[in-house]
Amino acid sequence: MEDGAVFKQNINRRHTASEKWDQADKLFGGNDLLPLWVADMDFAVPKAVTQALTERVRHGVYGYTFRTETYLNAVRKWMSERHDWTVDTKWICHSPGVVTALNLIIDALTKPGDKLLIQPPVYPPFSKTAKNQQRDLVLNPLVYQNGRYHIDFDDLKNKLSDPAVKLMLLCSPHNPVGRVWEKQELLRIATLARENHVLVVADEIHSDLVLPGHRHLPFASIAPDDYWIVCMAPSKTFNLAGLQMSTIFIANPELREKYQKQLQRFSLAEPNTLGLTAAEAAFLHGSEWLDQCLVTIQRNAEYVSNYLKSECPSLVMTPLEGTYLAWIDCRRLGLSDSGLKRMLVEDAHLALNPGVTFGSEGSGFVRMNLACPLSTIRQAMNQLHKAVDQLHQRKAIRK
């Protein structure tokens, strides 16, 4: 049995080589900032994961390893039980991380000068990987309407009809806007992609982090053929990002062979010994922990949304359907992106992701990590409230 107290516990992560906590001041140019930026959790992992790692560490030998049938079946079991998706274990490929997989996929399955489509504002490595591989970007910006994001399907149809567009990177659930795409939306994407022979690569790393009232559908489960790649990982779900273990599903044998060759080419085919142990334990025994984690994320999201409405009405949080990342509209403050960042760092003493880093479509927004104890959220909201009040006071004086 999991103890729900783990989601209330303030674990000191400073001086543990934590990128989130130990690099925030340096990266944001502040001093003693409260870090709510990079997407990892401040929660201890499931007990079963700690126990499995402890036993493996006690063995004392950490040589080369491989993905066992037990691990592969644990992945298959998780997908069946959590997503009602039946997978064949031969589809399951390895990668240290989803971003690594995206680079390998783009390198293996497209060529320089090919066009890749993304839907900004979106996770920054989508555009970075394309540029790293000398591929041209095509943008199908999401439409922000009545406080919710939608796909512009007329624009998508037009963009996918370009023969030079070979691949679409789909973020599902979407980071940073928090949308969980509905079945009809995914079906329309699948139809357009099939008609234009565009490969859909779905980054579904937040697939397990979906709040009540919404359901994640693996893109592959509704696609009419096997011309897709789905990227998942236990890293976001169970806070295992540092153990470098991701799961890439490729049903198409030709695509899978090309991807596997890239893994071998860069010597990335062997999993991390402890990452394998942790992932297997999480998939087999982490369901109850995840359920409690989702309750915490929902509570934190409701707290932030309600707090902003009552105390900082000039800021508006987009309704959160999936992920643990709040997307907050700050445009009513009337600040430039640099001015907004300066206010957050110097006045609020917060490290939040600037929205503009997700594309120009994110200008005026910020992304806030909700995967932490409610006490941390309360502290962040109090600091933000004071900073916004100071801003309004300065504006009033200037008038």
pLDDT digits (tens, 9 = 90+) for 16-56: 999 999 999 999 999 999 999 999 999 999 999 999 999 99
In a domain, 193, yes or no: yes
Per-residue confidence (pLDDT) for residue 190, from 0 to 100: 98
In a domain, 355, yes or no: yes
Write the pLDDT tens digit of every residue in 243-288.
999 999 999 999 999 999 999 999 999 999 999 999 999 999 999 9
Torsion of CA 154, 155, 156, 158, to 10 degrees: 90
In a domain, 56, yes or no: no
Residue 396 predicted with pLDDT over 80: no
Residue 359 predicted with pLDDT over 80: yes
Asked if residue 241 and residue 118 are part of one domain, the reply reads yes
Residue 399 predicted with pLDDT over 70: no
For the record, the structure tokens of 28 come out as: 């944001």
Per-residue confidence (pLDDT) for residue 92, from 0 to 100: 98
DSSP state of 78: H
Mean pLDDT over the full length of the chain: 96
Asked if residue 324 and residue 260 are part of one domain, the reply reads no
Its pTM surpasses 0.85: yes
Asked if residue 160 and residue 75 are part of one domain, the reply reads yes
Asked if residue 269 and residue 130 are part of one domain, the reply reads yes
Asked if residue 35 and residue 111 are part of one domain, the reply reads no
Asked if residue 217 and residue 121 are part of one domain, the reply reads yes
The mean pLDDT value for 62-78 works out to 97
Per-residue confidence (pLDDT) for residue 193, from 0 to 100: 98
Asked if residue 296 and residue 239 are part of one domain, the reply reads no
CATH of the domain at 324: 3.90.1150.10
**Position with higher pLDDT, 395 vs 338:** 338
Instruction: Count how many domains the chain has.
Output: 2
In a domain, 106, yes or no: yes
154: exposed, middle or buried (C-beta count within 10 Å: 0-12, 13-18, 19+)?
exposed
Residue 395 predicted with pLDDT over 70: yes
Per-residue confidence (pLDDT) for residue 397, from 0 to 100: 79
Residue 341 predicted with pLDDT over 80: yes
Asked if residue 209 and residue 297 are part of one domain, the reply reads no
In whole angstroms, what is the distance from residue 346 CA to residue 29 CA?
9
**Position with higher pLDDT, 397 vs 290:** 290
In a domain, 9, yes or no: yes
DSSP string, 39-68: S--SSPPPHHHHHHHHHHHHH---------
Per-residue confidence (pLDDT) for residue 392, from 0 to 100: 87
Per-residue confidence (pLDDT) for residue 4, from 0 to 100: 81
- Would you give the distance in Å from CA 267 to the centre of its chain? 25
Among the candidates 250, 285, 320, a domain finishes at 285
Write the pLDDT tens digit of every residue in 195-229.
999 999 999 999 999 999 999 999 999 999 999 99
In whole angstroms, what is the distance from residue 356 CA to residue 338 CA?
10
The mean pLDDT value for 3-17 works out to 92
CATH of the domain at 180: 3.40.640.10
Residue 386 predicted with pLDDT over 80: yes
**Host domain of residue 335:** 4-46+287-391
Asked if residue 104 and residue 29 are part of one domain, the reply reads no
Contact residues for 80 (Cβ-Cβ < 8 A; gap 6+) = 86, 87
Write the pLDDT tens digit of every residue in 163-199.
999 999 999 999 999 999 999 999 999 999 999 999 9
In a domain, 51, yes or no: no
In a domain, 160, yes or no: yes
